[in-house]
Amino acid sequence: MVLKSMVASASDLSLVSVAGNSPLDFKNRVFGGRLISLGFRFNKGSKCKGNERFNFEVRAAVEVGVERSKSKALEGGFGLDVVSEAELTVKGFAGLRKTKLVCTVGPACSSLEDLENLALGGMSVARLNMCHGTRDWHRDVIGKIKKLNEEKGFCVSVMIDTEGSQIHVVDHGAPSSVKVEEGSNWVFTAEHFEGSRPFTVQTNYRGFSEGIEMGDELVIDGGMACFEVVEKTGNDLHCKCIDAGLFLPGAKLSFWRDGKLVRGNNKLPTLSTKDWADIDFGIAEGVDFFALSFVNHADSVKDLKNYLSSKSTKSIKVLAKIESSESLHKLEEIVRASDGIMVARGDLGVEIPLEQIPTVQEDIIYVCRQLNKPVIVASQLLESMVEYPTPTRAEVADVSEAVRQYADALMLSGESAIGSYAQKALAVLDMASSRMESWSREENRQSLVNYHQLGASLPECITEQICNCAVEMGT
Ligand SMILES: Nc1ncnc2c1ncn2[C@@H]1O[C@H](COP(=O)(O)OP(=O)(O)O)[C@@H](O)[C@H]1O
Ligand SMILES: C=C(OP(=O)(O)O)C(=O)O
């Protein structure tokens, strides 16, 4: 076995969006290596806010000549991951994938073995959605990921996704999904009772039916099933199913009237009491990222960042999820305030017409590129793979398009959390993103990226130019 290591250090750089030991964010400045496979650590106390100056040291090491599956942890103290000799000798660094892959961890992939297979398959970030599962369940998953990182040399970051103030199902009468037949009658209630009642859905928010009228439409998970409100008694809604579909555990509810979203939960704060408790949980568990749901204003990002810097010595990064029309109106200030962005297409598709999603996605990515913030494209990238072992052509095209637009990361949701083909879905992301990256390189598309200048002082500008030249030479 040959251990090749490269150590590059730079001081007084003012590059932003470089996050701790996370592998998420380097694509912003570097287009020439599979940085997922390298470990990055910053000196203790390094800050990466705005144009603040900070010292950092980048170390990368590559273990050559070891089969991925047989790899052992390497000594040395910095975050390491492994790449196979074959990949390096055949393609060199330029041939290695740069797009980071985020997997939502759910019951279908939470065993140590499944997580290891995902890490081997290229998972760079494990996402834990606090809408689902208990804190004990999430703690167990975080423990397994830490174990894999420590013992097997992976470099998987952990991201906690807050539930946010949304109306969702607490119980729908079954432990897993339930088929809803057209014409069936259901009661939606905020009353909490032990156990389940047939055709009765308990919701999480007492005021969920405020302002809702007879004739309004109740849409489940942005279109999984649809009901008409036929009667209102107290806070309860009696509804008839008008579009058959599925109720998943924790499904989200939205209300529509005359083709427009009824803004019921707008008064709710971005971070609920439960979210703050989940944030304390994440700090205690040493997670790397918080993805903040339903950000409508930069202030909620700033509040969370202030809270994190007062509570944690570790630099935990905050990613704002863009999933409401309000967040689109304040996009630039939200991107500036955040360490990164998630294009949360699931909820965004409930808030804006579906046909606008592709252009809005491109706009969000463009703003992130300009402000040099990492951006994740999320939701339904390979939705059919929740059930089937192969993706549709349209899904592969969607993945490729996100990479072509310079998204930094792609995310699996149900495909990995509850799907039967999590590893295959990850392999499709890996292959499709690698293919698009190498096509872009061959076509020399990277030169079209217009890097936003960050350096303020002359030394900063010089350092920045040196880095940009290195990037150009590497691509
Ligand atoms: N920790 C978990 N425990 C149980 N089920 C989960 C978990 N995480 C995700 N899921 C399931 O995977 C589906 C897709 O995940 P995700 O997209 O994160 O959630 P949502 O659909 O609520 O936005 C969820 O609807 C839920 O059924
Ligand atoms: C990623 C998303 O958020 P969540 O899974 O919490 O709905 C989304 O809405 O696309």
CATH of the domain at 398: 3.20.20.60
User: Is 70 domain-assigned?
Assistant: no
Q: Domain holding 242: CATH number?
A: 2.40.33.10
Mean pLDDT of the chain: 80
Residue 284 sits in the same domain as residue 427: yes
- The residue among 267, 300, 318 that closes a domain is 267
CA distance 164 to 269: 8
Mean pLDDT is highest, among 33-47, 215-229, 379-393, for 379-393
What residues pair up with 7 in beta bridges, in sequence order? 59
Over residues 227-240, the pLDDT tens digits come to: 999 999 988 999 99
User: Is 34 domain-assigned?
Assistant: no
Percent of the chain with pLDDT over 70: 77
Over residues 168-178, the pLDDT tens digits come to: 888 777 777 88
How many angstroms separate the alpha carbon of residue 26 from the centre of ligand 1? 28
Side-chain half-sphere CA neighbours of 142 within 13 A:
22
The pLDDT confidence band at residue 464, using thresholds 50, 70 and 90, is confident
Residue 240 sits in the same domain as residue 279: no
Residue 206 sits in the same domain as residue 220: yes
Ligand 2: nearest atom to the Cα of 252: 7
- How open is the CA angle 262-274-212, to the nearest 5 degrees? 20
How many angstroms separate the alpha carbon of residue 342 from the centre of ligand 2? 9
Residue 275 sits in the same domain as residue 305: yes
- The residue among 267, 292, 321 that closes a domain is 267
Exposure of 96 by Cβ count < 10 A (0-12 exposed, 13-18 middle, 19+ buried)?
Answer: buried
Residues 6+ apart with CB under 8 A from 439: none
Residue 174 sits in the same domain as residue 321: no
Please tell me the least confidently modeled range out of 111-125, 277-291, 342-356.
Answer: 342-356
Over residues 149-192, the pLDDT tens digits come to: 999 999 999 999 999 888 888 877 777 788 899 999 999 998 88
Q: Is 345 in the pocket of ligand 2 (CB under 6 A)?
A: yes
Q: What is the 3-state secondary structure (H, E, C) of the chain?
A: CEEEEEEEEEEEECCCCCCCCCCCCHHHCCCCCCHHHCCCCCCCCCCCCCCCCEEEEEEEEEEECCCHHHCCCCCCCCCCCCCCHHHHHHHCHHHCCCCEEEEECCHHHCCHHHHHHHHHCCEEEEEEECCCCCHHHHHHHHHHHHHHHHHHCCCCEEEEECCCCCCEEEECCCCCCEEECCCCEEEEECCCCCCCCCCEEEECCCCCCCCCCCCCEEEECCCCEEEEEEEEECCEEEEEEEECEEECCCCEEEEEECCEECCCHHHCCCCCHHHHHHHHHHHHHCCCEEEECCCCCHHHHHHHHHHHHHHCCCCCEEEEEECCHHHHHCHHHHHHHCCEEEEEHHHHHHHCCHHHHHHHHHHHHHHHHHCCCCEEEECCCCHHHHCCCCCCHHHHHHHHHHHHCCCCEEEECHHHHCCCCHHHHHHHHHHHHHHHHHHHHHCCHHHHCCCCCCCCCHHHHHHHHHHHHHHHHHC
Higher-pLDDT residue of 428, 85: 428
Look up residue 353 and give its amino acid: P
Residue 340 sits in the same domain as residue 438: yes
Report pLDDT for 475: 62
Domain interval for residue 285: 97-165+269-448
Ligand lying nearest the CA atom of residue 176 = 1
What residues pair up with 57 in beta bridges, in sequence order? 9
How many angstroms separate the alpha carbon of residue 419 from the centre of ligand 1? 10
The pLDDT confidence band at residue 52, using thresholds 50, 70 and 90, is very low
Residue 305 sits in the same domain as residue 157: yes
Q: Is 455 in the pocket of ligand 1 (CB under 6 A)?
A: no
Residue 262 sits in the same domain as residue 285: no
Exposure of 257 by Cβ count < 10 A (0-12 exposed, 13-18 middle, 19+ buried)?
Answer: middle
Q: Is 414 in the pocket of ligand 1 (CB under 6 A)?
A: yes
Residue 220 sits in the same domain as residue 318: no
Please count the structural domains in the chain. Answer: 2
What is the mean pLDDT of the segment spanning 305-324? 95
State both tokens at 370: 């300009």
User: Is 256 domain-assigned?
Assistant: yes
Residue 108 sits in the same domain as residue 173: no
Side-chain half-sphere CA neighbours of 251 within 13 A:
29
How many angstroms separate the alpha carbon of residue 418 from the centre of ligand 1? 7
How many angstroms separate the alpha carbon of residue 320 from the centre of ligand 2? 11
Residue 205 sits in the same domain as residue 352: no
What is the mean pLDDT of the segment spanning 284-289? 97
Q: How far apart are the first and last CA of the chain?
A: 28
Higher-pLDDT residue of 350, 172: 350
User: Is 199 domain-assigned?
Assistant: yes
User: Is 87 domain-assigned?
Assistant: no
User: Is 83 domain-assigned?
Assistant: no
- The residue among 222, 248, 267 that closes a domain is 267
The pLDDT confidence band at residue 451, using thresholds 50, 70 and 90, is low
Residue 282 sits in the same domain as residue 299: yes
Q: Is 139 in the pocket of ligand 1 (CB under 6 A)?
A: no
